[in-house]
């Protein structure tokens, strides 16, 4: 299995809602990432988990809360979002975020969740 | 912070033509990755480069890791309509944090 899967594919939520995005990989990768992407822009890194521990938080507002329940799963909990948070949210994984071999840092992306905040 | 300058920003070419795009930086990178993204999908890894001067091919795609470690290019030969999409370069700076720095992307359109 060489896929990163994400659910849901699309999500529409109000500013007072609480929702969660889910990401799963079964490649045995030990690093997982959340990115935010606006139309026609490159992905922007939000969080990095390495060996199930949060290693990087790119000064993301607290209304985004990541969680890594185990080495295969990554969640992003959303609460009190703003309309400007509407974007494509991408999950990625790599064999090892600080790998001894360069190939360990190749990041594989999921298809993304298209989030719309009303 | 580190930035990657990717050019051109967009290209509109005829089917069958060759395409070239590149990324440059004022800082060095340990790894260069090239991704393609179709509308509404996640980026797909095309080619990974690990050593300065390395030249790697993947079908009609060829990419090189610049000798100074500050640049990389991607060539696509004999373009076809399914090559349409946005191509991103990404570099991993020294430090092994797992962070990637992305270029701004090159949008490719192919006219049949």
Q: How far apart are CA B50 and CA A101, in angstroms?
A: 10
Q: Is the pLDDT of residue B5 over 70?
A: yes
- Whether A48 has its CB under 8 Å from any CB of chain B: the answer is yes
pLDDT of residue B48: 95
Average pLDDT score over chain A: 93
Chain B residues 51-90 with CB within 8 Å of chain A = 86, 88, 90
pLDDT one-digit tens code per residue, B50-87: 999 999 999 999 999 999 999 999 999 999 999 999 99
Mark yes or no for CB contact B40/A103 under 8 Å.
no
Q: How far apart are CA B73 and CA A45, in angstroms?
A: 23
Average pLDDT score over chain B: 94
Instruction: Return the percent helix, strand and coil in chain A, to nearest 5.
Output: 5, 55, 40
Q: Is the pLDDT of residue B96 over 80?
A: no
Residues of B in contact with A88 (CB under 8 A): 40
Q: How far apart are CA A64 and CA A92, in angstroms?
A: 17
- Whether A94 has its CB under 8 Å from any CB of chain B: the answer is yes
- Strand-pairing partners, residue B5, are B24
Q: Which residue in chain B has the smallest CA separation from A38?
A: B40
Residues of B in contact with A97 (CB under 8 A): 96-98
Q: Encoding tokens for residue A100?
A: 């001894």
pLDDT of residue B76: 98
Mark yes or no for CB contact B42/A45 under 8 Å.
no
pLDDT one-digit tens code per residue, A99-117: 667 677 899 999 999 999 9
Mark yes or no for CB contact A90/B88 under 8 Å.
no
Out of B42, B48, B90, the one facing A111 most closely (by C-beta) is: B42
What is the pLDDT averaged over residues A27-55? 95
pLDDT of residue B94: 87
What is the pLDDT averaged over residues A82-109? 87
What is the pLDDT averaged over residues B108-112? 95
């Amino acid at each position: 299995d060489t896929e990163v899967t994400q659910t849901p594919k699309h999500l529409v939520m109000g500013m007072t809602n609480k929702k969660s995005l889910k990401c799963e990989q079964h490649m045995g990768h030990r690093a997982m990432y959340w990115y935010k992407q606006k139309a026609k822009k490159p992905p922007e890194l939000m969080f990095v988990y390495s060996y199930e521990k949060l290693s990087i938080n790119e000064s993301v507002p607290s209304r985004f809360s990541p969680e890594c329940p185990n080495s295969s799963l990554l969640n992003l909990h959303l609460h009190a979002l703003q309309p400007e948070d509407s974007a494509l949210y991408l999950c990625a994984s790599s064999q090892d975020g600080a790998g001894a071999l360069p190939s360990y840092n190749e990041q594989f992306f999921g298809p993304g969740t298209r989030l719309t905040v009303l | 912070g580190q930035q990657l300058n990717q050019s051109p920003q967009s290209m509109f070419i005829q089917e069958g033509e060759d395409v070239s795009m590149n990324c440059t930086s004022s800082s060095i990178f340990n790894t260069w990755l090239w991704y393609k993204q179709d509308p509404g999908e996640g980026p797909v890894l095309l080619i990974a480069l690990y050593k300065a001067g390395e030249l790697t091919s993947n079908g009609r795609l060829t990419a090189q890791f610049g000798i100074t470690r500050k640049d990389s290019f991607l060539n696509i030969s004999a373009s076809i309509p399914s090559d349409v999409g946005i191509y991103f370069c990404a570099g991993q700076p020294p430090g092994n944090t797992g962070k990637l720095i992305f270029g701004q992307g090159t949008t490719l359109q192919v006219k049949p």
